[in-house]
Structure formats: C-alpha cells, structure tokens
Amino acid sequence: MGKQCIECGVKPKYSTAARCKECHGAKMRQYRKNPIFNNKVKAQSKAWRIANSEHERNLVTKKRHSIPAGIYGIFNDCKLIYIGESSTPYRRKGNHFALFKKEKHAKISSPISYAIYNKELQRDKLRFKMFEFIDDTQARKERELCLIQRYNPIYN
C-alpha cells in the first residue's frame, strides 16, 4: 500500500516523507508561532552576524588576493607531483585540496583532488609552493610547459 501521512492518512508526494505537504506546512506554522523557537532563531542570527562581520569577510578576501598570479607546484613527501599556473593561486589551491563526495566532481576539479578521492594521496602530506610570480598569461603558460617538460610530474 505504501506510506501514509501520520496526520491525515493521505499518501505523501515523496516516499520518504512522514507527512503530506499540507500537514507538514501546518505543523511548521504552529512551530514558528512558538516563542521559544523565535527567540532561538533570533539568538542564532545575532551570533551569525557577529561572527561574519564585514571585517572578517574583508580579511578572507584580502588573503585570497594576496598571492599574485604565477606558477606553483604541489609536493608529496618532498617529491614534485604537479605543476600548474593560475591567476588566483590561493583559490586554485582550494580546488586541488578539496574533499569531494562524488567521483565525477573530484575528476572534474583536478587530478590531485581525484587522487585524494581515490586515496592515492593523503591531503595532510601535500604541500603547495609558488615557484614564480608572472602576471602575463601567455608567458605564464609557456613557462609552465617548460617546467612540466623539465620535471615531468606524475599528475600532469
């Protein structure tokens, strides 16, 4: 027969739901009218505003833009495994070292993140180091190819 709403007995739209849409909405409206819930939400939003003040956001933005464009290398136990170039190296480092739950997301992001997903590499043993700072995009790409040919890292 399938699942039924615990309030009215109607079959919910989603098989995992305990209540139908109407009963769920009524229950939530009743819950929101509760003064204890409202005070809790207000306290949480105030704490969030304090923690995420404008000053905090500016510090993060400054750090992201503090590393100029250039060529970087990723090392695993003092062995060069990847060479790359980026106009925003701090952000690119985050892409490489991110933890993904789905294989296709890890594969799309970078070969390093895919290797971390497959447990070929351990994230805590990886090191990110800037080699050269070059603003010109074309010169940066040419220099990256030169370094890749010279060192032949395994993940390039």
For 120-149, the DSSP string reads SS-GGGEEEEEEEE---HHHHHHHHHHHHH
Q: What is the DSSP letter of 102?
A: S
The pTM of the full predicted model, rounded to 2 decimals, is: 0.60
Confidence of residue 20 (pLDDT cuts 50, 70, 90): confident
What are the start-end ranges of the H helices in the chain? 21-33, 35-51, 54-66, 89-97, 103-109, 111-117, 137-151
pLDDT at residue 128, rounded to an integer: 93
CA distance 73 to 153: 9
Residue 28 has pLDDT above 80, yes or no: no
| Domain boundaries of the chain, sorted by first residue | 1-52, 67-151
Tens-digit pLDDT profile for residues 107-154:
888 999 999 999 999 999 999 999 999 999 999 999 999 999 999 999
Which long-range contacts link 119-123 to residues 24+ away (Cβ below 8 Å)?
A: 121/76, 121/81, 123/97, 123/99
CA 36 vs. chain centroid, Å, equals 34
What pLDDT, in 10s, does the model give residues 46-72? 666 666 666 666 666 666 567 789 999
CATH fit for domain 67-151, picks 3.40.1440.10, 2.30.110.10, 3.30.70.1340, 3.40.50.2300:
3.40.1440.10
